[in-house]
Amino acid sequence: MTKLTIEDIKSRIESAVYVMRLLPPVKAQGYRSTMPDIIYTPQEIMLMDRKPIKPKPTSEQITQMDEVLVWLEVLEPWERKLVWKRGARIPWKYLCREFGLCRSNINKKYDIALIKIQYSIKSV
């Protein structure tokens, strides 16, 4: 197994956040609408705006996302939240407000969390 750098870990976390967004939403099973289906004319269908097709994640992307989620188990809950939000590219300014820390302190905490992940990967 090759040694992952901090930059590799950051990019893997960012891709895991992206893949998580591509997954379909979780819905309650067994519920459905009792409204009748709307039948459109061919002309109405032609004039409708087409929704862009959402790309679906590949099985390899999902496997890598699962691996990243296992990495996050090493961290404290607030560290997980920080790393995940930073992977989603939430600006430091908002993270400072949420965690009640200044930018330099929150950046140190973020770096420490990434080092914990890197150390846990090496030890496995």
- The whole-number average pLDDT for the span 48-55 is 85
pTM confidence score: 0.80
Q: Are 96 and 106 in contact (CB under 8 A)?
A: yes
Q: What is the pLDDT of residue 2?
A: 64
**Alpha-carbon gap, residue 104 to 89, rounded angstroms:** 17
Smallest CA-to-CA distance from 98 within 78, 80, 112, 117 is with: 78
**Res 44 pLDDT > 80:** yes
Q: What is the pLDDT of residue 123?
A: 67
**Domains of the chain, CATH where assigned:** 61-124 (1.10.10)
Instruction: Encode pLDDT of 69-115 as tens digits.
Output: 999 999 999 999 999 999 999 999 999 999 999 999 999 999 999 99
- The whole-number average pLDDT for the span 8-19 is 96
Other beta carbons within 10 angstroms of residue 124's beta carbon come to 9
